[in-house]
Amino acid sequence: DLRSSARGNQGVADFSLIKQLSISDALDKTKDTLAQNESVAGRLAVLQTVPDSVPWLYGSSYVGAALFFIHRSLWPDKPRGGGAHVGAIIYGGSSNTSGYLDTGFPIPAEIEAYWNFGVIGVIIIFALFGLYQRYIAHLYLNSPNNPYLALLFVITMFELPGPSRDSIVPYSQLLVLLSVTYFIVFRSA
């Protein structure tokens, strides 16, 4: 309720809702929300509508992930992730995600790859993902005493479960922090 109050109020949350908090009501509402989300899963929505009534994304969700470091204030039309696309385009009936602030419906990596490039895209995206993981593992195995490569390997294996925007952006943020930290430590040593 608190998060929903901020959406309809230009980002200003109604904190008076906290005073009215009832644990049993909150649990019931959570159960209802989970049941609703399962019935309108993003996965099924994409598979049912793309490409017949909803167009392909042609890599736009990956462009937004790759250029995560460009703030939306500098690039207002920066491509959004699959969940926002499902909410805005499939359920919201909009032609794009511009200005969309409502509920997103997360989609798994294989569905995001499909929506971007079709079945062939799923094969190619996952092949590239496997090659990337193999490359990182190879770097680490060739230099197991390098702390930077050890951390890179661990972060890659645990923080990048699949080639989706929802995984790529936080992983990329961790890589930036790791690289900056390594640079600072290396320069001071």
Rounded mean pLDDT of 146-151? 93
10-34 per-residue burial string, b: 16 or more CB within 10 A, e: under 16: eeeeeeeeeeeeeeeeeeeeeeeee
Q: What is the pLDDT of residues 27-83, one digit of tens each?
A: 777 767 665 554 457 889 999 999 999 999 999 999 999 999 999 889 988 999 999
The token pair at 55 is 């167009």
Q: What is the pLDDT of residues 81-139, one digit of tens each?
A: 999 999 999 989 999 988 888 878 889 999 999 999 999 999 999 999 999 999 999 99
Counted residue by residue, the chain has a size of: 189
Q: Which of 111, 130, 140 is nearest to 50 (CA)?
A: 111
The token pair at 76 is 């207002």
Alpha helices in the chain (DSSP H): 2-7, 16-19, 23-39, 42-49, 60-66, 82-85, 109-142, 147-159, 165-188
Supply the pLDDT for residue 99: 84
Cis status of the peptide bond prior to 147, with omega within 30 of 0: no
The token pair at 187 is 């320069």
State how far the alpha carbon of 177 is from the alpha carbons of 53, 65, 181, in Å: 41, 16, 6
C-beta of residue 56 within 8 angstroms of C-beta of residue 115: yes
